[in-house]
C-alpha cells in the first residue's frame, strides 16, 4: 500500500484566518462590526478549518429568541413579496446570480477553508449557485397552473399555485453554499421568504452569501427581510423547526436529523423537504467499459473525501470482472494525492475533523470483523503543519456479503465491494439498504440499463447509466427515497414543494348546475 503526502507546506492558522477575513471583506461583510458583535454576544460560533484542524476566529450566534425574531421579520416581508409579480421576483435572483459570479473566487476560498474541498470542487459548488439562479430566473416566467375540462356547461376548472410563506432552510456542512442557493433561489421566485440556518461548522461561507444577497436585494428594491440569516447552534434549531410561521422546512443532513425534524414539522401540519443520507451503489456489469467505470468510481468514492450524500459507498461487480476492477481501483486510490486542498496537485482533502476519522476507523474494523478484507487505504496521512487535521487515504474493502456496517452510511471515503451473478441479484443488493438517494450501472447492454432504470430496478431517486453516483445537474430534481427523506430540490418541478395549490372553478354561465348530476331545488 502506497502513501503519498503533499510536498506543499500547509498554510498556518494565521494564514487561513487572514484569507477567510479577506474573502469576507470582499463579499461585503463588515469585519469590525462582526468582531464587535462576537465580543458582545452571549453565544458565538467558531470558524474552524479542517485544513489545519484549528480554530480561526469566532462570530456571533443567535439563540431561540433570535431565531423567532428572524422568522417574524421574514413573515412580515412575505406580505409584500407574495404579491410582487413573479418576473419581478426573478430580477432579484438574476442580480444575485451576477453578484455570485463576480465573487466566485472568494466564495470558493471560504468553501475550501471551512469544508476542505479541493479548488476544482469548491469552484464547482459556487458554479452550481450561479446555475440555479439562471434556472430560477427562467422559472419566474413559467410558474404554470393548468386547466381541465369541467363536466358542467359554462364552467372552467383550473389549478393555480401560490407562495406558501416563510421557508426555513437548514443546510449541511459539506455543501455550504450550493444547497442554500438551490432552496433560496427557487423559494424567492415562488414568492416565499427565507430564514437560513446554516451548519454551525460553516458560518463564514454563510455570512458571505447573505451579504451578497443583501446587496442584490438593495439593487433590485426587494423588501430587506425576504432573506434573513440566523447563525445558531444545533440546540437552537428547534425554534425554527417548531415555529408555526415557517410554512416549509427544507433540511439537508443526516438521517438521524431528518427523523427528528420530519415528525416535528408534521405535528404542526407544516411541510418539509428532507434531503438526508445516501448509501449509493454502482453495479458493474460484464459488458462494462472498465476504463470508464474506474474513472467514475474513483471520483464518486473519493471526491470531497467521501463527504457527499451522493458519494459512492458500494460497488456491486459481476464475478467475471470484479478482480480486475478491484485491482485497477486500488491502484487509482494509491495514486491519489492526499493533502492540503489549496495545493493544486491534491485530489483528496481532509475529513471534517478527527471525530470523522475515528468513525471511519470503527467502520473499517467492523467490516473486517464481518469477514471483509482491506485491499488498500484507510490509514491516516500525515501532512506537515497540520497535526490536528484528519487526512486519510480512501479505503477499498472487499466484503463477502452486505452486512450491517455496509448498510449504514459512514461519512468518509470507504468503498465496499461485493459480487453478483445475475442482474436481479445486483438490483436486490442495490436496494437492500435503508437509504435511497443515488445509484448507477456501468453496462453496454441496453437491456440491462433499461431494467436497472425500470420500476423493478433501482429504488433510488437518482438512477444513472455509465456515470458515477455523484455530480447531479441542477436541471433535474435532486433527492431520494426511503430514509433519504423523499424531498426534491433544484430543477424539474421541484418548485411545487415551495408553493401551495388551489383548485378553482369559475362559472361564467347563467345557471348553477351541480357536479355529478346532483339536483337540489
Please check whether residue 228 is in contact with residue 196, taking contact to mean a CB–CB distance below 8 angstroms: yes
Strand partners, 160: 502
133 tagged catalytic? no
Calpha distance 136→188 (Å, rounded)? 9
Q: What is the 3-state secondary structure (H, E, C) of 188-241?
A: HHCCCEEEEECCCCCHHHHHHHHHHHHHHHHHHCCCHHHEEECCCCHHHCHHHH
Q: At 358, which helix (H) or strand (E)?
A: helix 354-369
In the chain, what is the greatest distance between 2 CA atoms, to the nearest angstrom? 90
Find the catalytic residue in 309, 409, 460, 489.
309
Strands (E), 328-394: 373-376
Please check whether residue 256 is in contact with residue 234, taking contact to mean a CB–CB distance below 8 angstroms: no
Calpha distance 417→325 (Å, rounded)? 10
3-class SS at 434?
coil
Q: Which residues of 208-221 are buried (b: 16+ CB within 10 A; e: fewer)?
A: bbbbbbbbbbeebe
User: Would you mind telling me the total number of residues written for the chain in this entry?
Assistant: 521
Residues 6 or more apart in contact with residue 225 via CB below 8 angstroms: 73, 74, 76, 77, 193
DSSP state of 510: S
Find the catalytic residue in 114, 255, 275, 489.
275
Among the residues of 13-146, which ranges form H helices?
A: 13-26, 31-40, 64-81, 86-102, 104-115, 119-139
Residues 6 or more apart in contact with residue 183 via CB below 8 angstroms: 167, 169, 171, 194, 250, 273, 489
Strands (E), 268-423: 271-275, 280-284, 312-318, 373-376, 395-398, 414-420
Residue 246: exposed, middle, or buried by beta-carbon count in 10 A (0-12, 13-18, 19+)?
buried
Calpha distance 150→505 (Å, rounded)? 8
309 tagged catalytic? yes
Calpha distance 238→260 (Å, rounded)? 10
Termini Cα distance of the chain: 87
Active-site amino acid positions: 275, 309
Amino acid at each position: 500500500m502506497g502513501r503519498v503526502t503533499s510536498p506543499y507546506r500547509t498554510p498556518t492558522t494565521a494564514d487561513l484566518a487572514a484569507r477567510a477575513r479577506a474573502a469576507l471583506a470582499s463579499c461585503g461583510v463588515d469585519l469590525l462590526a462582526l468582531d464587535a458583535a462576537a465580543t458582545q454576544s452571549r453565544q458565538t460560533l467558531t470558524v474552524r478549518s479542517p485544513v489545519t484542524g484549528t480554530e480561526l476566529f469566532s462570530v456571533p450566534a443567535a439563540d431561540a429568541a433570535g431565531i423567532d425574531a428572524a422568522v417574524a421579520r421574514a413573515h412580515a416581508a412575505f406580505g409584500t413579496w407574495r404579491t410582487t409579480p413573479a418576473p419581478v421576483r426573478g430580477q432579484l435572483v438574476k442580480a444575485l446570480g451576477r453578484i455570485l459570479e463576480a465573487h466566485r473566487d472568494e466564495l470558493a476560498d471560504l468553501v475550501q477553508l471551512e469544508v476542505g474541498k479541493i479548488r476544482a470542487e469548491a469552484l464547482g459548488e459556487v458554479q452550481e449557485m450561479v446555475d440555479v439562479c439562471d434556472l430560477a430566473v427562467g422559472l419566474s416566467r413559467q410558474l404554470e397552473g393548468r386547466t381541465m375540462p369541467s363536466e358542467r356547461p359554462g364552467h372552467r376548472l383550473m389549478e393555480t399555485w401560490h407562495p406558501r410563506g416563510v421557508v426555513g432552510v437548514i443546510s449541511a456542512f459539506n455543501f455550504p453554499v450550493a444547497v442554500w442557493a438551490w432552496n433560496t433561489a427557487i423559494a424567492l421566485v415562488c414568492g416565499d421568504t427565507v430564514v437560513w440556518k446554516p451548519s454551525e461548522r460553516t458560518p463564514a461561507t454563510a455570512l458571505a452569501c447573505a451579504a451578497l444577497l443583501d446587496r442584490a436585494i438593495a439593487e433590485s428594491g426587494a423588501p430587506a427581510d425576504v432573506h434573513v440569516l440566523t447563525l445558531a447552534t444545533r440546540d437552537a434549531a428547534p425554534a425554527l423547526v417548531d415555529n408555526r410561521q415557517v410554512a416549509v422546512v427544507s433540511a439537508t443532513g443526516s438521517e438521524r436529523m431528518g427523523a427528528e425534524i420530519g415528525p416535528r414539522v408534521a405535528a404542526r401540519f407544516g411541510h418539509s423537504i428532507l434531503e438526508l443520507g445516501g448509501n449509493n451503489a454502482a453495479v458493474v456489469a460484464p459488458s462494462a467499459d472498465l476504463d470508464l467505470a474506474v474513472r467514475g468510481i474513483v471520483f464518486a468514492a473519493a471526491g470531497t473525501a467521501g463527504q457527499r450524500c451522493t458519494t459512492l459507498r458500494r460497488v456491486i461487480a459481476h464475478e467475471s470482472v470484479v478482480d480486475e476492477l478491484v485491482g485497477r481501483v486500488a491502484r487509482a486510490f494509491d495514486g491519489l494525492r492526499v493533502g492540503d486542498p489549496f495545493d493544486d496537485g491534491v485530489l483528496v482533502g481532509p475529513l471534517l475533523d478527527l471525530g470523522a476519522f475515528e468513525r471511519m476507523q470503527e467502520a473499517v474494523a467492523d467490516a473486517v470483523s464481518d469477514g471483509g478484507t482491506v485491499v488498500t487505504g484507510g490509514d491516516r496521512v500525515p501532512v506537515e503543519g497540520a497535526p490536528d487535521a484528519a487526512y486519510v487515504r480512501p479505503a477499498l474493502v472487499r466484503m463477502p456479503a452486505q452486512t450491517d456496517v455496509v448498510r449504514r452510511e459512514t461519512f468518509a471515503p470507504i468503498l465496499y465491494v461485493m459480487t453478483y451473478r445475475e442482474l436481479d441479484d445486483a438490483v436486490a443488493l442495490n436496494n437492500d439498504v435503508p437509504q435511497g438517494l443515488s445509484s448507477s450501472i456501468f453496462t453496454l447492454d441496453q437491456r440491462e440499463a433499461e431494467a436497472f432504470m425500470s420500476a423493478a430496478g433501482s429504488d433510488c431517486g437518482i438512477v444513472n447509466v455509465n456515470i458515477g453516483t455523484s455530480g447531479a445537474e441542477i436541471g433535474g430534481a435532486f433527492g431520494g427515497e426511503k430514509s433519504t427523506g423523499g424531498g426534491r430540490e433544484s430543477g424539474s418541478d421541484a418548485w411545487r414543494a415551495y408553493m401551495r395549490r388551489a383548485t378553482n372553478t369559475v362559472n361564467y354561465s347563467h345557471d348553477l348546475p351541480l357536479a355529478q348530476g346532483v339536483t337540489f331545488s
